[in-house]
Amino acid sequence: MANYDPNNIFARILRGEIPCKKVYETQHALAFHDINPLAPVHVLVIPKGAYADFDHFTAAASAEEQADYTKAIGDTARLVGAAEGGYRLVSNCGVNANQEVPHLHMHIFGGRQLGRMLKREGE
């Protein structure tokens, strides 16, 4: 399980040290626009607790946090209009997934046809 770095950029957003373009907030989750969007809709949903990635969160967060976070992701997708045409959820977890920010975040991509999920090996 990953160690949590309290100085990562999303921890700083949660503490109000760095601004974000907030979309939605619950007791345990915060949703905001990605600073470098890869699709017409590109929103990040993060838990408010100190969890480095999905592995850490699902191993250590309470059932209440996990339920709140999961619902917040679906509610955010509806709120930004992504649910109508369909959307993709991505959460990069650890080294193999090239996770850049070590605080769990779910990407919501939508607003256009998103193509295939992954390149095949060797492509």
For residue 17, what are the CA distances in angstroms to 32, 34, 57, 58? 15, 17, 23, 27
| Residue numbers 78-117 binding ligand AMP by CB under 6 A | 92, 98-101
Burial of 80 (0-12, 13-18, 19+ CB in 10 A): buried
Distance CA 29, CA 72 (A): 7
Q: Smallest distance, Å, CB 33 to ligand AMP?
A: 7
Establish if 9 lies at the interface with ligand AMP (CB under 6 A): yes
| Residue numbers 33-52 binding ligand AMP by CB under 6 A | 34-36, 44
Residue 103: active-site member = no
Closer by beta carbon to ligand AMP, 8 or else 26 = 8
Of 28, 42, 105, 107, catalytic: 105
Q: Are 3 and 50 in contact, with CB atoms under 8 Å apart?
A: no
Long-range contacts formed by 94-101: CB under 8 A, 24+ apart: 94/2, 94/53, 94/55, 99/53, 101/8, 101/9, 101/10
Q: Smallest distance, Å, CB 12 to ligand AMP?
A: 8
Q: Smallest distance, Å, CB 3 to ligand AMP?
A: 16
Closer by beta carbon to ligand AMP, 36 or else 96 = 36
Mind telling me the catalytic residues?
105
Contacts to ligand AMP by CB under 6 A: 9, 18, 20, 34-36, 44, 92, 98-101
